Structure 1
Amino acid sequence: MLYLELMGLDIEGKQQQLEAKRLHWFSGLFVVLSITGFVNWLLFPLAPFLEQLFSLIHAVAGVLFSLVFCFYILSHFRRTLAFRRPVILTIGLILSLVMFSLVVSGYLLVFSGVPERLIWLKDAHLWLSLVTVFLLFGHVLFHYFTFPERRKLVAPSRFVTLTPAINSTVFKTLTLTTVAALLVLMLDNITKVPVEGVYIEDYQYNYGASPFAPSLAQTKNNEFIRKRDIAGSRECIGCHQASGEQWLASAHRHAADDPTYVRNINLLQKSRGTSATRYCEGCHAPVALLTGQLTAGGQHAGVPGTVANVEGVGCMSCHGIRSITGAEGVASYYFSPRSDYLFEHSSNPVLSFVNEQLIKLRPALHKQELLPSVQKTSQYCGSCHSQFMDKSMNNWGWVKMQDEYQAWAASKFNQGKDARFTHPENKQCQDCHMQKVAGQDMAADSEGKISSHYFVGANVMLARQFGNEELYQLTVDFLQQDKVNLVIVPPKDRFSRQSFSYASSGQGTGENSPVAFYRGEQANITLLVNNRGVGHNFPGGAIALKEAWIDLDIYDGAGQLVYSRGDLLANGEIEPLATVYKEVAIDRFGKEVWRHDLFDIVGRSYLNVIPSGSTDIVNFEFDIPDWATSPLSISATLKLRKLNQKYHDWVNEQEEVKGNPIVDIARDAIKVPLSKAPVVIAEEKRHLSVQ
């Protein structure tokens, strides 16, 4: 208490007594701020609840301290400016400026929180605190050692009267702080809204001991999750506005109210019972699965208006995943709720505001729990973007279905070529589907960017279905980024070659290309479809539903159609002879499972995809009529649509699916001149006819 005694040496009269009282509170609050700040720095992450408590006390004490500081510093300088002690006056002025900066930074932190882009402000507040302590002790010590001897003679009597008062004030302040902490704890317990269990009694265990089977989802002791611990995504938008608005338009948000999903989940529930829907809802609607709704008497997410239907794959559905339990997919994740902050779920608006500010002020726990390192890996995405069926579901045997994770693991984007390890140069799923974009958000980095929560992929149908033209255009642009390209190989003329002689060692021999096609002859065109930029097979996902195909058109110089493949028929289906990239799933009787009845699938009769980094070589042979004029215009387009027309029409029987948009992913075109067939061709034809 030496500093406090010294600062009270010159206090006389009423003004001095008022300053002394301010000094008492100044000292007491400064001690509280120092203790809570230091304890907070030591506690995390050992005691996050105490960290929040001390943060709240620190913030309240800081506000009170700022008020006392303003009044005290004014009266203190008014009294001491006349003293001819320039060094200590300079230190005092610097100390005042530093403390003022400390107060301002504290206010900014209390109200803005500590977003990623303002980490520097938190660091500045910490350093200002250390500088304040250093300058304060320097100010006190210098005051002590340079205090005039003649004035020290009267000091003892004042020390005796002032010291007990200051000590008493500090003690009272600490006592009040302790009482306030206890009141906060009591208030936190009193204001908690009672939580009712949402799981259904007499829960059916039709697929084994796990309540979530046949999905592979897990929780602690396989207990059900309270709805409030996994739902309520719109509450997150208050702080994460940009991410939330993007999520509202995304395929994740519409994973459960997508008309195609609603039609299929209702079909599954009708044919196999509600418990069978756990297979789908572990990924499409974790809220319904993990809260214990998926049993007889419960409601699956295909029921409009239910929380699971509205949420789809919500914020906590992804951010509550702490680890991945395997590479099989079908919701192979471990879910754990996040820890509650003080006044979590309070119905009082003031306490709810305090709760939000605490999360903003101390986001480390929030970030630690909701952004584990596994969320930055492709295996994390693979927990849902991979599928299989086994005998318990199809009553047949184990069948591998879509598997984006293993396709990525075998690609050039996985440098380690081993799914168990992460190579530093790997390009993960998130690098393509969650690219950095500008956004006003608590999670924005120092450049003001966030990871896109549009999760842009190939689902143009869903963006159009829910009327989000911005997302639709983003999806089209994403598909047209030359990740998959198409090249028409220039045709060769077997009757025209370069000379075998050459002028220099740097020139070799080869064929000219192209020269011409010949009327009345059969021609051949080769197309190369290169999957050079997609991190998995093309197409990916539920390829029994989507289609990619080559649309080839050849016209002569007069605009007359010479040849075409890949046209749409009157009913919207692709002509049978087209080159199509898709899958045809079949049941045990060899019939196509075109309605996406997953539990009936036992294999496939057709599969045509292009692995990542591979090229598909497609040949077309066609006859050139005698009437064709030169040149031939050859154009090829690689097209994609989310739903094949047959499935689209079936869904549209009950739900209004707004169109079935087709995207032109890549195209190429060349012109080839036409000529009269050379004599040598006529001779060959005559020779063949004689034979």
Structure 2
Amino acid sequence: MTKPNKNQREIGLLHWFTALFFVLFVTGIVPWLIAGIPPLLSQTLSLLHLVSGIGITGIFATYSFSHFQRTVGFRRASVIFVGGLLFFGFCYLIATGFALAYLGVVARYAWVFDSHNWIALLFSVLLIFHIGHHYFSFPQRRRAAVPSRFVTLDVAIIKPILVALLVAAGASVSLLFLDASIVSEDSQYADLHQQYSDDYGEHPFSPSLTQTASGKFVAQRDIAGSARCIECHQTIGEQWLASAHRHAANDPTYVRNINLLEQNKGISATRYCEGCHAPIALLSGTLTEGGQHGGVSGTVANQEGISCMSCHGMAELTGSEGVASYMFKERSNYLFEHSQIWPLSALNEQAIRLKPQLHSQELRPSVMGTSEYCGTCHTQFMDKSMNNWGWVKMQDELLAWAESKFNKPKDSRFSHPNNKQCQDCHMPMVQGHGMATDADGNIKSHYFVGANVALAKHFGNEKLFELTTEFLQRDKIELTIDPPEDKFAKQSDLFVSSDIRSQQKYPVGMYRGSTTQITLLLSNQGVGHHFPGGTIDLNEAWIDLKVYDGNQKLILTSGDLLEDGSIEQNATVYKEVAIDRYGKEVWRHDLFNMVGRSYVNVIPSGTTDIVEYEVAVPDWATSPLTITATLRFRKFNQRYINWVRQDQHLLSNPIVDIARDSISVPLLKTPSTHQSH
């Protein structure tokens, strides 16, 4: 058996290079040009494109070295020039191809994907030109000496092309068939109405308003498994892990309340809360007799809370009533979506990187950027099925936003190009890493920064605690002490020009032995809803007022904390007091007993609250008086957090000073009430 010579080896490499190039061309051009190609087939072709690219890389390196060695002495500059362009062009295709396989075909690197495609088309054109030009520019007298199989596409080169295309087609069919067999074995679920108890009506998830697109249970794997999402979305995942969304089910206050609800009304009633706090438990069908709610430690629902798919699986909204009024839809499967075998799971991850469009379209519905989207869980009511009384409106951040200046038309049914949505404040753009970054390397923050400093501190998330504190202190609420006017200031009947009058400021002063009114102005100019918002039966915001004389002797105080941590009774507090049917306070957040309110004090968005205090200035006070007012906030009132801590939860409850103002006022003697003549 004779050993093939160098020329024959080069021809063999050329044949297989051409064959793999045809596979690369077909698997690359078909998904690019045909928009309606089935997703699984498109993913399969992309994987074959990658595999073919890996295979052709080794052949290209060997063939290029051999080919350049043989042709370097040719004196046809145009052919050599085009050959050089082809070499560097193919190197660029290899580099960008591997980069896309590693980084993914994402927005930030769209230019890499676009250039890869256009250079591939240009390469194909130049390759045809190079072969044709090489053949026709070859001297006529030397053509006969060159083997025809080297300069023409004869049977010897067509054969490997056909073999490669047939292998590619067979691989595509095999992959699709294997994927179908895995899915069919692992996707059989019972109908909801056959297994879920109907204690709260025919609606399958009542009293929650949640629905599923299939009308069946959702497999736990289709709504849980957030750790897998973090593999491609690193920064987003790190932020979510620290967020209140992730801790929505293992929050000690929630655990205490959900246990209380189960004890009083049974596990079916916990569906009311779990549609928002633990969708994994609700949608996978565990909230029925024998099941476990999301407050149970160790369960997947408890560990993930509001998982990635809990929000990204909300395909549409079913209403604006809140209480989880959304429809959940499982995402479409990529190739080998549920395979546990390493090579197949690796192919699945690679398919997502190469074809993320399906992933992005399904998991980022247009409604996701609206305030209505957030309102599905941040709006709440209770009806007779829960409180045995009647319909009661509770928190409604959506309506509060709809009536604010941030909703230009003042109606949530319409959109306006200059609206500010919930996400604009609570999910600002920040720098990040991962496949979801935009062209500038930014992502939507998934810390969901709001007012819950307690959870951030409890779980040791110092970064989130700092961000939350800074968020609360960002001058969204302005506190101003209106200087008290000197009521004994002298007035003149002489003419004063309008320019001077417009700039006139009345003298500021207070008098010993008199009682003077101090006015505070609290303006909600930066919050897109009422302040405070959310669970205002638990939150506490209050004014801490202090008045000292020149020797730092205390003259007036309001808003002090007592020894037990509660706020003194004469303080101005912003909160809600919910009551039951007997008029007693529902202080444990057992909202299934709530039928109304005895007290509500909030500051609607875009409005100002005026608070007045009477200050009796003693005769012994020295000048000047220093008046200081601070708006303070804590997530939980003391009575409630003491009750939670009885359940052995060492829950933190830090206080944040949101706004502050201080003025100095001179003290004067009261002038004589009569004049001498």
Distance 2:596 2:276 in 1: 22
Structure 2 partner of 1:215? 208
Deviations 1:333-382 (A, max 9, x none): 11111111112122122222221122112111111111111111111111
Listed as ranges, the matches of 1:334-483 within 5 Å are 334-483=327-476
Q: What is the match of residue 99 of structure 1? A: 90
Find the counterpart in structure 2 of residue 69 from structure 1.
60
Q: Distance in 2 between matches of 1:154 and 1:241?
A: 61
The more displaced of 280-289 and 592-601 is: 592-601
1:621-660, aligned counterparts within 5 Å? Answer: 621-660=614-653
Quote the Cα distance in structure 2 between the aligned partners of 1:435 and 1:493.
46
Whether 2:289 is the aligned partner of 1:263: answer no
Taking the aligned partners of 1:473 and 1:45, their CA distance within structure 2 comes to 48
Which amino acid in structure 2 is aligned with residue 75 of structure 1? S
Partner in structure 2 of residue 120 of structure 1: 111
Question: Aligned partners of 1:265, 1:45: CA distance in 2, in Å?
Answer: 47
TM-superposed deviation, 1:87? 0.9
1:495 aligns with 2:488: yes
- Superposed counterparts of 1:156-195, under 5 Å: 158=149, 163-189=154-180, 194=186
> Match of 1:28, as an amino acid?
A
Partner of 1:135: 126
CA RMSD in angstroms comes to 2.2
| Distance in structure 1 (CA, Å) of the matches to 2:92 and 2:491 | 81
Alpha-carbon distance, 1:419 to partner = 1.0
Deviation (angstroms), 1:146? 2.6
Aligned residue in 2 for 1:591: 584
- In structure 2, the partner of 1:508 is 501
Q: Per-residue displacement from partner, 1:99-124 (whole Å, max 9, x unpaired)?
A: 11111111111222223322221112
The Cα offsets for residues 16-46 of structure 1, whole Å up to 9 and x where unpaired, read as 2212111111111111111111111134454
1:203 matches 2:196: yes
Residue in structure 2 matched with residue 8 of structure 1 by the alignment: none
What are the equivalent positions in structure 2 for 1:517-596 lying under 5 Å apart? 517-596=510-589
| AA of the residue aligned to 2:63 | Y
Determine helix, strand or coil for the equivalent of 1:122: helix
- Give the match for residue 298 of structure 2: 305
SS of the residue 1:420 aligns to = coil
Instruction: Decide which of 56, 59, 62 is 2:50's aligned counterpart.
Output: 59
User: Equivalents in 2 of 1:290, 1:132: separation in Å?
Assistant: 51
* Contact 1:497–1:512 (Cα < 8 Å) also in 2: no
Once structures 1 and 2 are overlaid, which stretch shifts more, 409-418 or 439-448?
439-448
- Measured in 2, the distance between the counterparts of 1:45 and 1:331 equals 34
2:80 pairs with 1:89: yes
Structure 1 residues 589 and 143 mapped into 2: Cα distance closer, same or farther (>3 Å)?
A: same
The residue correspondences of 1:658-677 to structure 2 (distance < 5 A) are 658-677=651-670
Structure 1 position 653, deviation (Å): 0.7
Say whether the 8 Å CA contact 2:538–2:640 is kept in structure 1. yes
* Equivalence for 1:15: 6
For 1:375-399, what per-residue CA distance to the aligned partner results, in whole angstroms no more than 9, with x for missing partners? 1111111110000112222222221
TM-score (norm 2): 0.95
- Give the number of equivalent residue pairs: 672
Which of 309, 315, 320 lines up with 2:313 in the alignment?
Answer: 320
Q: Could you list the per-position Cα deviations for residues 408-465 of structure 1 after superposition, in whole angstroms to 9, with x for gaps in the alignment?
A: 1111111122212221111111111111222222212233222111111000111111
Deviates more, 1:498-507 or 1:627-636: 498-507
Distance in 2, matches of 1:381 and 1:24, equals 59
Q: Which residue of 2 aligns with 1:4?
A: none
TM-score by length of 1: 0.93
AA in 1 matched with 2:134: H
1:109 to 91, 100, 123: 100
Structure 2 Cα separation of the partners of residues 122 and 487 of structure 1 = 55
Moved more, 205-214 or 536-545: 205-214
The answer to whether the 8 Å contact 1:198/1:227 transfers is no
Provide structure 1 residue ranges, at least 5 long, that are not aligned to the other structure. Answer: 1-12, 684-691
SS in 1 for 2:208: coil
Percent identity among equivalent residues?
A: 57
CA contact (8 A) 1:198 1:226 kept: no
Moved more, 619-628 or 522-531: 619-628
Deviation at 1:602, TM superposition (A): 1.1
Match of 1:135, SS?
Answer: helix
Q: Which runs of 5+ in 2 are unaligned?
A: none
Contact 1:199 1:293 in 2 (8 A): no
Distance 2:214 2:98 in 1: 43
User: Partner letter of residue 300 of structure 2?
Assistant: V
Offset at residue 636 of structure 1 (A): 0.2
2:10, 2:63 within 8 Å by CA — same for their partners in 1?
Answer: yes
1:14-53 equivalence runs, <5 A = 14-44=5-35, 46-53=37-44
CA contact (8 A) 1:215 1:331 kept: yes
Whole-angstrom distance in 1 between the partners of 2:58 and 2:110: 26
Change (3 A) 1:489 1:162: closer
The answer as to whether partners of 1:516 and 1:672 remain within 8 angstroms in 2 is yes
Output the amino acid matched with 1:423: H
Could you tell me how far 1:327 is from its partner in structure 2?
1.1
Shift of 1:72: 1.7
